[in-house]
Amino acid sequence: MIDLTLDIEQYDCPFVAATDECDLAFSAVHWEFDTARRQTDSRMVVEAVDRGALDDGLDVLRGHDGLADYDLLSRRDNVAHIRTSVGQTDAMATIRDNDGYLTGPSYVEDGSELWHVGFDDSGEADAALSRLDRSNEVTVVARREPDLPELQGFVQNVGAAMTLIEGCRDLSDVERQTLETAVQGGYFQSPRSATLGTLADEFDVSKPAVSKNLRRGQRKMIERVVEAIEELD
| Structural domain that includes position 179 | 157-232
**How far is it, in rounded angstroms, from Cα 196 to Cα 187?**
8
Q: What is the pLDDT of residues 17-55, one digit of tens each?
A: 999 999 999 998 788 888 888 888 999 999 999 999 999
Residue that is last in its domain, among 97, 114, 145: 145
The predicted-structure confidence for 78-128, as pLDDT tens digits, reads as follows 999 999 999 988 998 999 899 998 887 789 999 999 988 889 888 999 999
Task: Verify that 95 and 195 share a domain, yes or no.
Answer: no
**CA 14, CA 63: separation in Å to the nearest integer?**
9
Instruction: Please give the Cα distance from 26 to 112 (Å, whole number).
Output: 11
151 lies in some domain = no
- Residue at 183 is within a domain: yes
Boundary residue ending a domain (145, 165, 185) = 145
Domain end residue (candidates: 120, 145, 170)? 145
Instruction: Identify the residue with better confidence: 230 or 6.
Output: 6
Q: In the 3-class helix/strand/coil scheme, how is 31-71 assigned residue by residue?
A: EEEECCCCEEEEEEEEEECCHHHHHHHHHHHHHCCCEEEEE
Looking at the structure, tell me whether residues 117 and 201 fall in a common domain. no
pTM of the entire predicted model: 0.65
* pLDDT, tens only, 184-211: 999 888 888 889 999 999 999 998 899 9
Dist. CA 31–CA 17, nearest whole Å: 19
Same domain, 183 and 75: no
- Residue 199, domain CATH: 1.10.10.10
The answer to whether the beta carbons of residues 79 and 124 sit under 8 Å apart is: no
In this predicted model, what pLDDT tens digit does every residue of 118-156 receive, in sequence order?
898 889 999 999 998 888 889 999 888 866 555 555 556
Instruction: For residues 169-196, give the mean pLDDT.
Output: 88
- Residue 112 resides in a domain: yes
Give residue 147's pLDDT: 61
226 falls in which pLDDT band (50, 70, 90)? Answer: confident
